[in-house]
């Protein structure tokens, strides 16, 4: 079986002023040499400061979004190269809040993911169905289409992570059953292996949506779950540490 290093990623979303850096430092102080990889994606305003504060620690820093172009006349946007230059190693792409708030299509997400890879970042490509799609039994169709449309041909196990985040589970306290998570992750693995071959067995598949210290261990026990993308519970070191502890076993 493939050996995939667990990745526990925090997405701070549009939260965090400079004072929030102390929470990330408290995470880094707790985990000096974890088995898992630990990542925090702060708002763009904190990427540089966080990368400096966490330099030499086991906690990596990532962006939450990037533009598809490396530079140019795009006021207010940030390129993958800029994130890399600020000390980021990862970049989220296609988060459902970007798809909803900014109308990002699968094609947009694919272009951004490619830009992240080209800049030397690991793209964490987010997909997931809405409640309507889940109730309409369209979940696997949505996953198939989003993987096909959002993941660039350049994806490898080294430059790409997939995050499955059912939209209805984000920030709601609702979590799919273990059977539902397992079905989605097994399906993603099969789709990726069909497209990319055996190397896709090494690609990490994260679950995201209301992950907490109390439910993390049973989610991490699912065979094709290789970590978590955590929103609310990543803002407090005590909560995020509890989730990392569940992965460390």
Ligand X SMILES: O=C(CO)COP(=O)(O)O
Binding residues for substrate: 11-13, 171, 210, 231-232
> Does residue 230 touch ligand X according to CB under 6 A?
yes
**Buried-exposed string 34-67: b where 16+ CB fall within 10 A, e elsewhere:** bebbbbbbbbbebbbbbbebbeebebbbbbbbbb
Burial class (CB in 10 A: 0-12, 13-18, 19+), 249: exposed
> Does residue 98 touch ligand X according to CB under 6 A?
no
Going 173 to 176 to 178 to 182, the CA torsion angle's sign is: negative
Q: Is residue 74 flagged as an active site residue?
A: no
Closest contact distance (angstroms) between CB of 151 and ligand X is 17
Q: Is residue 165 flagged as an active site residue?
A: yes
Q: Using CB under 6 A as the criterion, what x/- string covers residues 188-227 for binding ligand X?
A: --------------------xxxx----------------
Closest contact distance (angstroms) between CB of 98 and ligand X is 10
> Does residue 11 touch ligand X according to CB under 6 A?
yes
Q: Which is nearer to ligand X, 81 or 185 (CB)?
A: 185
Give the β-pairing of 90-93 and 204-208: unpaired
Q: Which is nearer to ligand X, 123 or 196 (CB)?
A: 123
> Does residue 99 touch ligand X according to CB under 6 A?
no
- Most distant CA atoms of the chain, gap in Å: 48
Q: Using CB under 6 A as the criterion, what x/- string covers residues 140-169 for binding ligand X?
A: -------------------------x----
87 sits in the region (left: phi over 0; alpha: psi -120 to 50; else beta) called left
Identify the active-site residue in 23, 37, 67, 95: 95
Reference 219, options 187, 192, 180, 193; nearest CA is 180
> Does residue 95 touch ligand X according to CB under 6 A?
yes
Reference 132, options 94, 173, 168; nearest CA is 168
Other beta carbons less than 10 A from residue 91's beta carbon: 27
Q: Which of 170, 192, 246, 247 is the binder for ligand X (CB under 6 A)? A: 170
Q: Which is nearer to ligand X, 8 or 54 (CB)?
A: 8
Provide the binding-site residues for ligand X, judged by CB under 6 A: 11, 95, 165, 170-171, 208-211, 229-233
């Amino acid at each position: 079986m493939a050996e995939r290093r667990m990745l526990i990623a925090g997405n701070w979303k549009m939260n965090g002023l400079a004072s929030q850096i102390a929470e990330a430092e408290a995470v880094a102080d707790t985990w000096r040499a974890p088995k898992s990889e630990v990542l925090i994606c702060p708002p763009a305003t904190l990427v540089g400061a966080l990368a400096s504060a966490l330099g030499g620690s086991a906690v990596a820093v990532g962006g939450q979004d990037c533009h598809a172009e490396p530079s140019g006349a795009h006021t207010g946007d940030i390129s993958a190269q800029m994130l890399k230059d600020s000390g980021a190693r990862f970049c989220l792409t296609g988060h459902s809040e970007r798809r909803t708030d900014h109308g990002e299509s699968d094609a947009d997400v694919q272009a951004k993911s490619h830009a992240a890879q080209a800049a030397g970042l690991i793209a964490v490509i987010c997909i997931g169905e809405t409640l309507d799609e889940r109730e309409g039994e369209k979940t696997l169709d949505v996953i198939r289409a989003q993987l096909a449309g959002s993941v660039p041909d350049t994806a490898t196990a080294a430059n790409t992570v997939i995050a499955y985040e059912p939209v209805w589970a984000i920030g709601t306290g609702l979590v799919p059953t273990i059977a539902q998570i397992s079905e989605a992750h097994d399906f993603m693995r099969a789709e990726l292996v069909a497209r990319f071959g055996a190397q896709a067995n090494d690609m990490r598949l994260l679950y995201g949506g209301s992950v907490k210290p109390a439910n993390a261990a049973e989610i991490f026990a699912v065979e094709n779950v290789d970590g978590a993308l955590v929103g609310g519970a990543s803002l407090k070191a005590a909560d995020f540490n509890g989730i990392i502890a569940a992965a460390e076993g």
